[in-house]
Structure 1
Amino acid sequence: MRRKAAWGKKAVVVGYGAVLSLGMALGAHAGSVIEEVKAYINREIKLTVNGEEWTPKDADGIAQSPLIYNGSAYVPLRSVGALTGLAIDWDEDTQTIAVFTPRQAETSCRPADEPGKNAAGFGDAEYSLLNKTLRLASDITAVQRGRGCLSFPIGKSDPGGGSAFEIGYSLYGAAKRVHGKAAVTSTADAEVRLRIVDNDQGKVLFERSGMRAGDEPVAFDVDVTNVKELGISAYTSSEPGTASVMIQSLTVVANKTVPEETFDITKPNRPLPGK
């Protein structure tokens, strides 16, 4: 039997879609599809997961109390995703909230931008690295490619404890920048550290710690001038196989006189800088 809840008295007026707490931007047509409703926030309601208290948080990490509307309680969808290992994505173009299970999230990405579409400057061209052969990988059989992304499980035991995984590309010193986005899926609420490294020089070009499932994808745009071998690595202190990293729209920016084949090690007659 469903018990009738006695909700708190603090009332708020919200758009129905706002309870999802995705940080989404509403299009200009929102007025015709968003219905304004009266809801309540009850700060006395406690949530438990397997007997332990759980506090949902928004995208900024701020604790959120359940929103009560029409006899039902609502909490941020991203927070539930992080708890359960679901990946949550918001597609502004189609006004769609996409929910992926951990397995689906590894290969369910939106298409990458077309090469050259968003070239950074006059005289530059952009080429996708996602369809280029990897120079190195901790386990090439574990790398999966989807629509506009690649993903890999952090499944190799690390000598220092935890687990790690690395992939790498040959840039031959011909690129200017590499940019893209990275997201985490996890079944154990794992924290992941992402690094982008100049493998020849051992120089860290980009680093982000504390990445978790359900967080917004982390955007990176790194200067790779004169970088010959680029490495992308992920580390977690959790057990191997409990977290995966998804790289979206990985793109290299180079002078337009540099052919795309330069960045594909499988092309036998690829032109190399200085040759």
Structure 2
Amino acid sequence: MWPIIHRELCAAMRDPAVRAIRMWVPVAGAAITALFLLVAMADRVTAGRMLLWMLTWGVMAMGLAQGGRLAMSAFAEDREQGTLGLLFLCGLKAHEVFVARVAGQAIVFCQVLLSVAPLLVVPVFLGGVSSDALLGIWSLLPSFLLLVMSIAVFAGLVCREPGEANILCLLLLIGSLGLGPGMHMLRQILVGDGRFAGLAWLGPFKGLTSLPREDWNLPWEELWISVGSTLAMVVLFLVCALWRVGRIWKQEIFNGGADSWGNLGRRQAQPTTLVP
């Protein structure tokens, strides 16, 4: 399993997109921070809040743009090129292949957050941002990035074509983000009073949109509902992806399906008839 993780990390180091993220994300974050340090000379409170808002949404945008692509490539490209079965022929089990590939992509995926992690502390020193708000962001951002990664891995295993996987990933992500607002609207229609108000915090949407506001006070109960429900969705998508890997493993090793390695060997063994 460890050689597969090492292979994923080596492949990521050679990826131009990963190198660009590693280089330009800290540079862009440092430039934005330096700009707001100049603005802070006039109004430190406003500068601190705006800097926290821009860094938070910048990490989310980078995670959606590049993190999902990296995680989806863990299986989608292998399925399209028919090279996923090579890992199964090495004597590894389906869960070992899955854990190794996902762990390798998760390490690469975390660089989006780690590259700007030191900069997220700067708004606290500028003022206008409490340590509780920073703790809330540090609780929600990793869970949101893990949700993007798990959805991308699941979509890459369900769809053979990368284009179809991108569409499925986008639809599942929209559905996951809309779970809380949808349940909140349904509660208002059916109940109409203040009961079950925590349903609006299901998923990461409510927490992420509430954190950077100026009048935000840390609602710990609702925050943990948001983090817990997001992590529950992460586990659900990863379990479904692991089940899908098991199905692919059985098809390519045992069942001799249309894309299996057994059928490939039998097709190659068939004699060629020359037609004059």
Q: Does the pair score TM above 0.5? A: no
Choose between structure 1 and 2 for higher RCO, CA contacts under 8 A separated by at least 6 residues: 2
Identify, as 1 or 2, the structure richer in helix.
2
